[in-house]
Amino acid sequence: MRTRELERFKKILLKMRKELKEDWDSFEKENLSQNIRDQVGQVSSFTTHPADIGSITDEQERAFLLAGHGKDILDSIDRALVRIENGTYGKCKMCGVNIENERLLVIPYAEFCRACQEKIENEEMV
């Protein structure tokens, strides 16, 4: 991946990280109600980012991100930033191909290409 592209993803990741961190902090303070937890419980049992599922509202996505994967995503973002620094960003951890740019634009912290992600999810469902 070109340096310019890497810089672009780095910016996206840093912005995402900052927003998520702020959301997470206020989220913890508010002490999320059980009601919302129940609502997102179903969705968050999937490892897929809601953007992969489609047909999910922004509000649901926000709740999903925070309740289901807030910390996980923060960790993933941190790992992605490390990969940018060591030059492995954008490569699938499983098969080593370059992850599709369109995918990275939606999920900049993606660690697997779409094919591998699907494989992982299929295996988890068995």
Residue whose CB is less far from Zn ion, 80 or 116:
116
Which residues neighbour 33 within 8 Å (Cβ) at sequence distance 6 or greater? none
CA distances from 112 to 19, 38, 58, 75, 95 (A): 23, 29, 24, 15, 8
Tell me how far, at minimum, the Cβ of 52 lies from Zn ion, in Å. Answer: 15
Q: Which of residues 38-97 bind Zn ion (CB under 5 A)?
A: 92, 94-95
Q: Between 91 and 110, how does the x/- string for binding to Zn ion read (CB under 5 A)?
A: -x-xx---------------
Of the candidates 48, 60, 63, the residue with the CA atom closest to the CA atom of residue 106: 48
Residue whose CB is less far from Zn ion, 42 or 98:
98
Residues at the interface with Zn ion (CB under 5 A): 92, 94-95, 113, 116
